[in-house]
Structure 1
């Protein structure tokens, strides 16, 4: 039951748009909170895989965003790891041996991606949640019905065909999807992750604002149910609906983040079968990820 409660909490983070962004600390009532036992804490320390896929309903797709999350109840701390989609890794059973990590989802879905992460980084995934482009667009409009304020430049507008002007604009679901997917400048995927963080923070704020009033709390179950309809996950809706209102206000005191590959541990390479990749120092990145999750 403890791992289900934890997964529900992390699912609410998705609904709050916190997939890529550090969360602000929120104060709870320490006198009324039930303290977990050591055994409870060990059982609750599960690892969760969140996958954003480059699909609009197709049967097969690649993972456009990959994130691991782990919550430590004893320290009231959440750790988030983003794995760059062009990371060059060994894919179990793949004929050529190595490919970009986002190809694992294309060839074998969530199970192959889980195996790939375990084989390359030594991390066992306990639960998975997947959202595609259509789901993301709907989630944005659900959490931020008034739109999201972003600053766009001419390069993004022209490349992604966004119907707006240069500078600060209020964009909605479809345009926000284009905005966070843009990567055709000097910053490439690294700049895209920054834009994702920017948008996710605003989505979190929009979600919290919606449920901060009495009317919002009444509407919370409907918001969660609708949001979960955009996700494909391995935890039941009933449990999430029962626990969601309780856990949404119990955010961790500390959120730590990591990006794989870590700084100074990779180089840009090009291979005939895969194109441009991030070729990693596997030992260094495996150690970095395991050290990050072990502290």
Structure 2
């Protein structure tokens, strides 16, 4: 079902900057994103790793948001799992054995983050998309040119210098980036993950509405090409453009979300040279994630 792959790509465009969560078996040239345009996409369930990095173009950065997305084509269902960036995990390789999961991307990029997720949670990734702050701002404005409606309070306005008033506001790229990154309240990173998933779902709905007209379908190929320029992804442009117009009719019927670590499965700890972490019950969280993605 080629239509499935395009919709997942569009979700990747939305997700990668703000989230937020499983992924790929790749062959010999796994590290070459742009030359996989003839890749055969199967109808089976696929898992995607979506990485938002805390960078505006720097060479090395940490993953500010980590999200796994799995699509079930026969059920028309999409599942999204956000992994908290301070989750304390075992990182494969010669660097410190245990660290926050966001350090994996800093040490070894997307390949090491994939290995870290597989080793800790038993989830195999099929495809990866990476986006930085600049790309996220551009992607939001591409997918939601009229803006996104969010509810803000005085604390987030003051802390992030958001140009808004208390209550519901229509915000655009730069302000939405501030909104999804805010974490200086009682909910800390947990509230931030909730906001990331909130924005994702709004962008998904807004994008589907945008391409649901004849004009939108006609504009879709150029929109996809522009979106690809903001991403580092191993899904090829040729494959995506070939299936573009069909996406409108094959959006997932349902979207389910979760967060790792799950409630009651972690404690706050602090380690020298690492700082504050979420020390998880590894068995409970691995089981929870695998069960979430099982059907």
The interval holding the TM-score normalised by the smaller chain is 0.7 to 0.9
- Length, aligned pairs only: 275
2:164 corresponds to 1:125: no
- 1:17 CA displacement: 5.7
TM-fit CA distance, 1:16: 5.3
Q: How high is the TM-score relative to the length of structure 2?
A: 0.86
Residue in 2 that maps onto 1:141: 141
Q: Give the corresponding residue for 1:10.
A: 8
- Conserved 8 A contact 2:129-2:233: yes
* Superposition RMSD in Å: 2.3
The CA deviation string for residues 249-270 of structure 1, in whole angstroms up to 9 with x for no partner, is 2123333322111111101111
Q: Structure 1 residue 151: deviation in Å?
A: 1.9
Distance of 2:236 and 2:44 partners within structure 1: 17
Q: TM-score, normalised by structure 1?
A: 0.86
**Structure 1 residue 88 displacement after superposition:** 0.4
For residues 261 and 16 of structure 1, the distance between their equivalents in structure 2, rounded to whole angstroms, comes to 23
Shift of 1:141: 1.0
- Whether the 8 Å CA contact 1:64–1:102 is kept in 2: the answer is yes
Range moving further from structure 2, 60-69 or 147-156: 147-156
1:211-265 deviation digits (Å, cap 9, x = unpaired): 1222112111111111111111012101011113213421233333221111111
Q: Structure 1's 16 and 276: CA in aligned 2 closer, same or farther, altered over 3 A? A: closer
* Residues 1:15 and 1:129: Cα distance change in structure 2 (over 3 Å): closer
Structure with higher Rg: it is 1
**Alpha-carbon offset, residue 43 of structure 1:** 5.8
Q: Residue 44 of structure 1: SS of its match in structure 2? A: coil
Any stretches of 5+ residues in structure 2 without a counterpart? 21-40
CA separation of 1:228 and 1:245: change in aligned 2, threshold 3 A: same
Structure 1: 5+ residue stretches without partners: 22-40
1:42-73 alpha-carbon deviations (Å, 9 max, x no partner): 86222211111111011111111111122222
Q: Secondary structure at the match of 2:141?
A: helix
Contact between 1:76 and 1:253, CA under 8 Å: does it hold in 2?
Answer: yes
- Residue of structure 1 in register with 2:167 after alignment: 167
